[in-house]
Amino acid sequence: MASLLSEEELDAALRGVPRWKYDLPGKRIFREIKCRAFMDGIDLVRDVAELAEDCNHHPDIDIRWTTLTFSLTTHSAGGLTENDFELAREIDALVD
């Protein structure tokens, strides 16, 4: 099982994903992405789903027309682990 990040590790990890926001009460990070069209968003969701399957770490995904919100936490650990930040960086690489 992945271990929770310490406060210091969390601070460092957050600096590495500046487009992601930290939700302390939810013990998660999330990023909102605006797509040009609905189907562009659906294509991105599919690409992220393939990444998630490859690393066996799955985000919560909210689809609102052309706006996607990806939310990451490690449910089994009860908060944020390196797995969340690794997937965040991979999502960033797809988008940016």
pLDDT digits 0-9 by tens, 21-66: 999 888 999 999 999 999 999 999 999 999 999 999 999 999 999 9
Could you tell me the pLDDT band of residue 96, with boundaries at 50, 70 and 90? confident
Burial label, 48 (beta-carbon count in 10 A; 0-12, 13-18, 19+): buried
Q: What secondary structure letter does DSSP report for 74?
A: B
The pLDDT score that the predictor gives to residue 48 is 98
- Domains in the chain, CATH or no CATH each: 7-95 (3.30.1360.20)
- Distance, CA of 41 to chain centre: 15
Q: What secondary structure letter does DSSP report for 37?
A: S
